[in-house]
Structure formats: C-alpha cells, structure tokens
Amino acid sequence: MWSSERRTALCGLLALPAVALLPSCGFQMRQPARLSFASIALTGFAPRSAIADELRRELARQVRVADAPAGAEVVLQALEDQRERSVVASTAAAQVRELQLRLRFHFRATTPGGRELIPRAELMLARDLSYRETAALAKEHEEAELFREMQSDIVAQVLRRLAAVRV
C-alpha cells in the first residue's frame, strides 16, 4: 500500500505537466485601455462628481489631464450624470422589498476645435437590491457599494471608448 505522503507526491508529479501548460494557453488578464493622445480636458461635470474624480485618476495614469480645453488634444464633455433609485417591488402593506439602482452617464468627446471624436453616447447600468426595513443601515451601505461598482464599470467603458479615438 501507498502511504499518504507518497500519494501526495505522486499527485503533485502528475499535476506538474498540466500546470506547465497553463501559460501557453493564451490566457491574459485584461489590460487597461491604451490611449493614443497625450492630453485630455474634462468639462461639464458637477463640482463634486464621483465619476469625474475616478476618470481623472484613471486618465492621469496615461495622459495629462488639462484644466482648460484649450490646452488638451481631446475634450471629454459630460452631458448628464444621474443616479436613480426606484422601488420595484413592495408588499401589500406598502413596505419596500426590492429597489432598482440606475446610473446614467451621457457624454461626448471632441477636439478643442469642435471636431466630434465620439458622438453623444449614453451608458446606463442597473442593479437590483433587495430591501428590508430591519436592515436599513446595512442596505444603505450595500447601495453605496453598488453605486461605486457601477461607477467603476462606467469609467472603464469610457476609457475603452476613448482608446478607440484617433486624433
């Protein structure tokens, strides 16, 4: 009979060829979108827009974020940045049981001279959230986390669209 130590060693030796083949399968983590321009200006955002802050952070990793449109190659204009919360289901006693959270972002990209690079586009994400009055504080935190995740998704989508822009 084989001891447990020998079985473990044998299993490890048999698994070694499978592990060695993993790098050659072509799997690769998603890389950040590569931008083909050197500077961008963000306009039309609300003074404390969370999407603008995250976009600024992500864009600054690759390009210079200019304060004024005149000093940039690309101008990203926010047309609408809206968070919505609506009741989807309630009980007969009018107690909320399910909410839908939506995040809408309308934008366009132009050159400082006005040439359109990305026409008016709308990104909209929605998430469902179950709700209980007895756990209102926890649900409030969950709602905030869902909005943060949706915001990150929208920023990633905007960056992918900007990566397709050729100035």
Q: CA distances (Å), 157 to each of 38, 69, 86, in order?
A: 19, 22, 24
Alpha-carbon distances, residue 78 vs 4, 44, 68, 94, 131 (angstroms): 63, 5, 14, 37, 32
User: What pLDDT is recorded for position 11?
Assistant: 64
Please check the confidence at residue 2 and state whether its pLDDT lies above 90: no
- pLDDT for 23: 61
Domains in the chain (CATH in brackets) are: 36-163 (3.30.160.150)
- Strands 74-90 and 39-43 turn out to be parallel
61 pLDDT band, cuts 50/70/90, is very high
Residue bearing the bigger pLDDT, 26 or 117: 117
User: H-type helices in the chain, by residue range?
Assistant: 4-21, 50-60, 136-163
Question: pTM of the entire structure?
Answer: 0.77
State pLDDT tens for residues 84-132: 999 888 888 888 889 999 999 999 999 999 999 999 999 999 999 888 8
